[in-house]
Structure 1
Amino acid sequence: MKKITEIKMDKKVLPTKIIQFGEGNFLRAFIDWQIQQMNNQQLFNGGITIVQPIENGMIDHLEAQKNLYTVTLEGLLDGDKVQSDEVITAINNTINPYTNFSDYLKLAEEDTIEVIFSNTTEAGITYDETDKKEAAPAKSYPGKLTQLLYKRFELGKPGFHIIPCELINYNGEKLKEIILNYADLWNLGVVFKEWIAKENYFYGTLVDRIVPGFPHENKEEVFERIGYEDNMLVKAEAFLLFVIEGNKKLAEVLPFKEAGLNVIITDNMQPYRERKVRLLNGPHTTMTPLGLLAGIDTVGSVMNDIDFAPFIHDEMTKEISPIIDLPKEELASYCEAIKERFENPFVHHELQSIALNSISKYKTRLLPGVIQTLNETNQVPQRMVAALAALLVIYGNYDEIAVQPVDGEETIAKFKEMKTSNDYVHTVLSDQELWGEDLTNYPELEKTVKNDVAVILTQGARKLVQNINQNS
């Protein structure tokens, strides 16, 4: 069978207008796909340079395919079945700053670049006071970005539209704040900080598209259908929503709406964010550790499981929806739409792919709802807390548990150390660095987590799910 590099296509050479930190499945099926749609309609006419944000990345695989790959969309959209395969040609170049730091800094010289996108996971937008300006590159993503921005400033060039897609609230504000922290740490000067504030626009975002990634389960079938091999192919659902908060002049730079894309540029994205993070990402974060411990491998399998399907439904309708300040009818409709997306038979969304950085995801997606419920009702939201217990079991490195955590080395090492304490659950819950506060201040929460951990270790995660279903 042909390789993707052997198929005939009309790939136009377009000026680079975008720097993208991250080469993972999501950005390639979300941002790059949207850029492709605008280019197809000759509305944007710009290319992308991808910067690998961590030392061990995938840009070498992209380079091996001449930066070409396919996005396969499958699912229902407005009640209609969608199945499409499209080669993305919008990537001009890739740079690994760990091996080509000088090439990375040269991006500051390119006058055509106007926009910076990123998705370095929730754990990516962090400040590391040990980062050094002279490092080649800095360890953190914001550190690397500060190095690039300072070079741009030294050249006397205009700034960028900076659009982070990491799933943390106020991601643009947070990223800007950290960059200014680095400016102080590295003594970059007041004038540079003024340039950051005046010449650069930082946007808050909400991203919504389920992207399972490479179709390992039926890749031969997919390759046969498209007529070539593509080891960087990305499968995604047809649904897409991109909410951007900030300067509405961005629509002139990136004409998403003109291209017919479901993009909202607004002054206030919080209602959209709360609905999506809590009702889509929250259940994902719940089903992943519990499902993996029960031997379930995909979102679709969870939603077709006799025990897990009602468990997730009840979490959405009984625990999460009641604490969101939006009309009940709107929330009910959104819940049904989310369930349809979870049950999408065309998407093989592996729980293992959702498991990356689960602790930071839990803190962002579920913990605020747990604390809100405890404060407002004095009741423990059983399903959201069961997910926390399951995470503690996985990260606790119990000998009888086959599921391994997928997280940063520091986080995994931290849990390994806490496991040696006399009271592992208490030690974890009291760690303010992990959670932002001491969770043992909620005695019923600690009691429930300890009971849930005991059930999982003695009877299994499925039994815990069954117990909660029966008692609710």
Structure 2
Amino acid sequence: MKRLDNSFRKLDKFPTKVIQFGEGNFLRAFIDWQIQQMNKQGLFKGGVKIVQPLPKGMTKNLDQQDDLYTVLLEGVLNGKKYQSHEIIESVNGTVRPYDDYDEYLKLAEDDNIEVIFSNTTEAGIAFDQADKLSDRPQNSYPGKLTALLYHRFELGKRGFHIIPCELINHNGDQLKKIVLQYADLWKLGQKFVDWINNDNKFYSTLVDRIVPGYPRDRAADLEKEWGYLDQMMVKTEPFLIFVLEGSQAINDVLPLKQAGINFVVTNDMQPYRNRKVSILNGPHTTMSPIARLAGIETVGEVMKDKDFYKFINDEMYQEIIPTVALPKKELEDYAEGIKERFENPYVKHQLSAIALNSISKFAARLLPTLKRYVAKNQQLPKRIVLALAAYLKIYRGEADFEPSDTAEVLAAFKKITADENYVHEALSNSEFWGEDLTLIPGLEDLVNKYLTEIDEKGTRAIVAEINADAK
């Protein structure tokens, strides 16, 4: 069978208008899919150059099939089952800064490029004091971005629309702040700072689409059905929402709404973010460690399991929804829609995929809810605390699978795993959580209690007990 290549192209190859940091499943099924929809309607007429932000990645796999890949949409949309597939032709090529840094810097020289997207996970938007302008490349994503922007500035060219998709609050503001930190660290001058502030626009965003990724269990059958080999196919649900905080003028740059995409431009994205991060990402981040320790592998299996379904449903309605400052009916309707998406019969969303960079995800997705719950009820949310305990067990190396996180986080945990005060050392590490969690009354004791109980009887038994105690 023939491998997917340029002979399958139907659209013209348009000039590159977008730089994309990250080649992972999410950006390819979210951003690049949306660009494809605009291009099919003649609204954008632009392609994407993908930058591989880490030394190891999948860009060579993309290049082997001329940067084409298939997006498989399967799920329930507006109460109806939906299935389709489409070859995405919006990627013009890839760049690997660790292999060819000069090629990376050349992206700054292209006058056609207007937009920069990124998704380097919650851990990606971070400042690394060790980064230098002379590095080839810098370690951090913001360091690489600053070097690219400085080269653009030196050429006297216009700036970019910079749109991060990492799931941290005020992601655009955070990214800009770090770029300016590098400008100061590297002594790049006030004129460059002024150019950053005046010629570039940083947008904060909220992205929402469940992307399980490569459908390993069905890939061979799908290739036979489609008539070509595709090692980079990606499966996703049909639902998406893309919320951007900024001026409506961005619609002229990215006519997504005109293309029929659920693209929302607003001057305040916080209500959308709080709802989504709390009610969708929060339960994902809760179920991942607890269910994996119980031998469950996918989100769908969690929702089919009597004990775990009740546990997650109760977390939504008892621990999360009461802490979100939006109308109760709106939140409950949203929660029911999320459960429908979790139960998607076409999707096998691996809990191991959700577990990538779990420490930063817990800090972003569950810690705010935990703190709001404590402030409102003067007690701890048991389900969220159990998830925290389960993560600490996994990161101590006491699970049948390895934690998947940044080298820095894994190294920090390795230093404290043998400490008799392991829980205290982990919870008090503000590098993990952004604050000292031992200051939350009772948290350290309850985490210790759950860790002991996980060892003695497993997470399923604790889940059943919490369910039995629920009103």
Counterpart for residue 144 of structure 2:
144
Contact 1:293–1:403 under 8 Å retained in 2 = no
Q: Which amino acid aligns with 1:301?
A: E
Contact 2:9–2:89 under 8 Å retained in 1 = no
In 2, distance between residues paired with 1:114 and 1:348?
A: 36
In 2, distance between residues paired with 1:105 and 1:5?
A: 27
Counterpart for residue 8 of structure 1:
8
Answering whether residue 399 of structure 2 is matched by residue 423 of structure 1, we say no
Spell out, residue by residue over 1:111-167, the C-alpha distance to the aligned partner (whole angstroms, 9 max, x if none).
000000000000000000110100001110000000000000000000000000000
Counterpart for residue 22 of structure 1:
22
- 1:240-255 correspondence runs (5 A): 240-255=240-255
| Cα deviation, residue 11, structure 1 | 3.8
Answering whether residue 195 of structure 2 is matched by residue 166 of structure 1, we say no
Contact 1:201–1:247 under 8 Å retained in 2 = no
Q: Identity of counterpart residues, as a percentage?
A: 56
In 2, distance between residues paired with 1:325 and 1:50?
A: 38
Spell out, residue by residue over 1:285-311, the C-alpha distance to the aligned partner (whole angstroms, 9 max, x if none).
000001111110000000000110000
Contact 2:240–2:262 under 8 Å retained in 1 = yes
SS for the counterpart of 2:17 is strand
In 2, distance between residues paired with 1:435 and 1:393?
A: 17
Greater Cα shift, 213-222 or 126-135: 213-222
Q: Which amino acid aligns with 1:422?
A: E
Greater Cα shift, 51-60 or 368-377: 368-377
| Cα deviation, residue 364, structure 1 | 0.2
Spell out, residue by residue over 1:197-221, the C-alpha distance to the aligned partner (whole angstroms, 9 max, x if none).
0000000000000000000111122
| Cα deviation, residue 8, structure 1 | 3.5
Greater Cα shift, 374-383 or 267-276: 374-383
- 1:322-471 correspondence runs (5 A): 322-398=322-398, 401-471=399-469
Counterpart for residue 295 of structure 2:
295
- 1:254-265 correspondence runs (5 A): 254-265=254-265
Answering whether residue 62 of structure 2 is matched by residue 57 of structure 1, we say no
Q: TM-score, normalised by structure 2?
A: 0.98
Counterpart for residue 67 of structure 2:
67
Q: Which amino acid aligns with 2:10?
A: D
Contact 2:11–2:40 under 8 Å retained in 1 = no
Greater Cα shift, 450-459 or 23-32: 450-459
In 2, distance between residues paired with 1:434 and 1:259?
A: 40
SS for the counterpart of 2:312 is helix
In 2, distance between residues paired with 1:2 and 1:186?
A: 49
- 1:89-238 correspondence runs (5 A): 89-238=89-238
SS for the counterpart of 2:71 is strand
Instruction: Extract unaligned runs of 5+ from structure 1.
Output: none
Q: Which amino acid aligns with 1:76?
A: V
| Cα deviation, residue 443, structure 1 | 3.4
| Cα deviation, residue 9, structure 1 | 3.1
In 2, distance between residues paired with 1:225 and 1:211?
A: 22
Contact 1:206–1:272 under 8 Å retained in 2 = yes
Contact 1:85–1:226 under 8 Å retained in 2 = no
Contact 1:153–1:195 under 8 Å retained in 2 = yes
Q: TM-score, normalised by structure 1?
A: 0.98
In 2, distance between residues paired with 1:265 and 1:362?
A: 27
| Cα deviation, residue 376, structure 1 | 2.3
In 2, distance between residues paired with 1:144 and 1:8?
A: 34
In 2, distance between residues paired with 1:391 and 1:31?
A: 31
Spell out, residue by residue over 1:31-66, the C-alpha distance to the aligned partner (whole angstroms, 9 max, x if none).
000000000000000000000011111100000011
In 2, distance between residues paired with 1:74 and 1:224?
A: 18
In 1, distance between residues paired with 2:351 and 2:39?
A: 33
In 2, distance between residues paired with 1:453 and 1:205?
A: 36
In 2, distance between residues paired with 1:224 and 1:79?
A: 29
Contact 1:7–1:228 under 8 Å retained in 2 = no
